[in-house]
A and B are shown apart, each in its own frame.
Chain A
């Protein structure tokens, strides 16, 4: 049985309001049967410095990725991880994290690849919970292992690979990186040179919508109306047509994937997790530079 949804009026306007909970809702439901709170951060030690009481930690880098291949864990690996974290297939999972929920959204997207039914994001993430002075603890829970089924990862519905993007050229692409990354002036993020690429620029035809435009100062999502204004009116994206989002390694674009899929209700949204670290290092894929989407090469 999923927990009740958060009937916050702000969420009611979104396409899938059941995918978000507010800090107030979470504070009220903490400790409920059938609820597991997951913290997923960029900083691997942040959880240890204090976290929401009862929350378990899922580290994207070290736990959701295959240790050898550049890919996510498989069905057996995910089942093992869920069991270890005390998460049952029918549990309501609420994910939150640092940096405006970048990594929390990434974790949520990976949960979605495995078809975990009820997975929600904490609007505002860790920073808002802290800013509101809500309860925090350094006590790590010791969950009882669950029997989580081995589910095959679905890589076709929400995920795009390089070959898919090559075949999709001319379709709706959203590049969510910073403008200097999009134009090609910069081949890595200001603070992340290790994720650099041989070539800078963007996938031809991609619209530039830096991911942070979807967030308010406090890390919460902008309202439905504001999001429509940005993605539909300003960028002219069509909710009926397929869209693929990408960034540098797939984490910022998970945030945008969440916005398009769950807040604006686009019909077919995929995250290209290979993103620019793959595209900008690949031989012979087309690249556009400058501030315009650029010419899409004829295939």
Chain B
């Protein structure tokens, strides 16, 4: 799959990939910055218990995440996934990646989250603006989200 390919992506994520690829290189960085600013704050229940969040060592900055499973509407593959991230303000690139995953995956079913391809970070057209080395952290976040979803939903 190449930059910009969206056929196998859930709608919200496909929209984000389209948005990035429609912009010039400098504007892509600006959009990533907006995602970093839009990352929701850590909810109260985790602010007191950072140990509940999983660290992501693939990232060059301290970032923690947790996937919550809501099975009110469906169980297993049909349960709904909510994502929570914590990343410091001095790590805006990492926050930006987290913001993309939050907006692109939050509220999907477990099955939909597990079907997201691992090369999502390559499709945003950011390799030139960010450098491939920095993009790898995003794949690490997705891998951890999917593992948590698999374990918690037993999907």
Give A residues with C-beta under 8 Å from B: 42-46, 48-49, 59, 61-62, 98, 190-195
The 5 closest A-B pairs by CB, nearest first: A61-B131, A45-B92, A194-B136, A45-B93, A43-B93
The distance in angstroms between the C-alpha atoms of A49 and B33, with both chains bound, is 8
Give B residues with C-beta under 8 Å from A: 29-30, 32-33, 36, 57-61, 89-94, 96, 128-131, 133-134, 136, 140
- Within 8 Å CB of B131, what residues of A? 44, 59, 61-62
A43 touches B58 (CB 8 A): no
A193 touches B57 (CB 8 A): yes
The distance in angstroms between the C-alpha atoms of A62 and B126, with both chains bound, is 11
Residue among B59, B90, B92 making CB contact with A48, cutoff 8 Å: B92
- Within 8 Å CB of B89, what residues of A? 49
- Within 8 Å CB of A46, what residues of B? 90, 92-93
The distance in angstroms between the C-alpha atoms of A260 and B60, with both chains bound, is 27
The distance in angstroms between the C-alpha atoms of A44 and B94, with both chains bound, is 10
Extra inter-chain contacts (17) besides given A43-B90, A45-B32, A190-B57, CB under 8 Å: A42-B60, A43-B91, A44-B93, A44-B134, A45-B29, A48-B30, A48-B92, A49-B92, A61-B130, A62-B128, A62-B129, A62-B130, A62-B131, A191-B57, A191-B58, A193-B140, A194-B58
CB-defined A-B contacts under 8 Å, sample of 23: A43-B92, A44-B29, A44-B93, A44-B131, A44-B134, A45-B29, A45-B32, A45-B33, A48-B30, A48-B33, A49-B33, A49-B89, A61-B130, A61-B133, A62-B128, A62-B131, A98-B90, A191-B60, A193-B57, A193-B58, A193-B140, A194-B58, A195-B133
A44-B129, A48-B33, A62-B131 known; A191 and B59 CB under 8 Å? yes
Complex: chain A residue closest to B94, CB-CB:
A43
Complex: chain B residue closest to A65, CB-CB:
B131
Complex: chain B residue closest to A126, CB-CB:
B90
Residue among A45, A190, A193 making CB contact with B96, cutoff 8 Å: A45
- Within 8 Å CB of B90, what residues of A? 43, 46, 98
A45 touches B36 (CB 8 A): yes
The distance in angstroms between the C-alpha atoms of A194 and B96, with both chains bound, is 19
- Within 8 Å CB of B140, what residues of A? 193
- Within 8 Å CB of A59, what residues of B? 131
- Within 8 Å CB of A193, what residues of B? 57-58, 140
The distance in angstroms between the C-alpha atoms of A62 and B93, with both chains bound, is 14
The distance in angstroms between the C-alpha atoms of A42 and B57, with both chains bound, is 16
Question: Nearest chain B CB to A94's CB is how many angstroms away?
Answer: 20
B92 touches A194 (CB 8 A): no
Question: Nearest chain A CB to B28's CB is how many angstroms away?
Answer: 11
The distance in angstroms between the C-alpha atoms of A61 and B61, with both chains bound, is 16
The distance in angstroms between the C-alpha atoms of A167 and B93, with both chains bound, is 40
Question: Nearest chain B CB to A77's CB is how many angstroms away?
Answer: 15
- Within 8 Å CB of A44, what residues of B? 29, 93, 129-131, 134
The distance in angstroms between the C-alpha atoms of A195 and B133, with both chains bound, is 8
- Within 8 Å CB of B130, what residues of A? 44, 61-62
